[in-house]
Amino acid sequence: MAANMYRVGDYVFFETSSTTPYQIRRIEELNKTPNGNVEAKVMCFYRRRDISSSLIMLADKHQSALEDDTDAHDDEDLCEKQRHQLKHRELFLSRQVETLPATHIRGKCTVTLLNETEALLSYLNKDDSFFYSLVYDPQQKTLLADKGEIRVGSKYQAEANSVEMLKDGEHDGRSLEELESLVWHPDSGLNDKHLDQFLVIARSVGTFARALDCTSTVRQPSLHMS
């Protein structure tokens, strides 16, 4: 019974044509019309088939970078079939809002902001689960990364192996206390899982803080969704 009840904030499938895939929308409002029907004011998500080929090339480049950054979290590289499946799970958030009859809703789904510290394969293990990381503007025909992301991965961190390091027990003669204040030490005792959890919490706190700012939420409606 609960599966047939729809509320504001639900992600749902909409059928607009019998020959095309279901559209994916987020319910913003549910309103009853004077004739007794129910209309849903929804935020639009777009699939790859809905954007131009030039923007698809940009999305592919972005996804390749994500795959490189999540290599450390995956036990093995993604095969060609899995990459193809991921493309069908990827959506593009837009700030476009439209009104559709609620009778065209065909079920619920889940849409989440891509978590760069989570293995990409995890998005393939859930039914009717989709993700997004880019924002599509159907008027300007642009595709941009959502704001406020934490930059994690080989693109942003230096490789320690490429730096000449001191040998065990060797000192460089400097007094670090006079040069800088120690704010982080690699020998923290935390494993990779705990570090990933910290990154998720840090991102959540930052997103929550921005969601409380009315000016930010007007420019970035995805904040409330995140």
pLDDT, greater one: 11 or 218:
11
Q: What is the pLDDT of residues 162-190, one digit of tens each?
A: 567 778 888 777 776 777 887 777 777 78
pLDDT bin (cut points 50, 70, 90) of residue 83 is: confident
CB 142 within 8 A of CB 136: yes
| Residue pointed to by tokens 């007794």 | 36
| Fold of the domain spanning 10-145 | SH3 type barrels. (2.30.30)
Q: What is the pLDDT of residues 13-28, one digit of tens each?
A: 999 888 888 999 999 9
Report the half-sphere exposure of 14 (CA within 13 A, side-chain side). Answer: 21
The phi, psi pair for 36, rounded to 5°, reads 95, -5
Whole-angstrom Cα distance, residue 58 to residue 149? 18
**Average pLDDT, integer, range 74-87:** 72
pLDDT bin (cut points 50, 70, 90) of residue 72 is: very low
Weakest-pLDDT range from 99-108, 123-132, 144-153 = 144-153
pTM of the predicted protein model: 0.59
pLDDT bin (cut points 50, 70, 90) of residue 124 is: confident
The CA-CA-CA angle for residues 78, 83, 85, to 5°, reads 125
Helices (H), 129-213: 176-179, 192-211
Q: Which residues pair with 130 in a beta bridge?
A: 111
Whole-angstrom Cα distance, residue 210 to residue 184? 26
The phi, psi pair for 130, rounded to 5°, reads -130, 165
**Average pLDDT, integer, range 192-214:** 81
Q: Record the tokens describing residue 66, joined without a space.
A: 């994500």
Q: What is the pLDDT of residues 146-167, one digit of tens each?
A: 655 556 666 666 666 656 777 8
Whether the predicted pLDDT of 137 surpasses 70? yes
pLDDT, greater one: 46 or 61:
46
Check residue 28 and report its DSSP letter: E
> What is the model's pLDDT at position 1?
43
> What is the model's pLDDT at position 66?
63
Whether the predicted pLDDT of 108 surpasses 90? yes
Weakest-pLDDT range from 7-11, 113-117, 124-128, 210-214 = 210-214
Whether the predicted pLDDT of 222 surpasses 80? no
CB 7 within 8 A of CB 27: yes
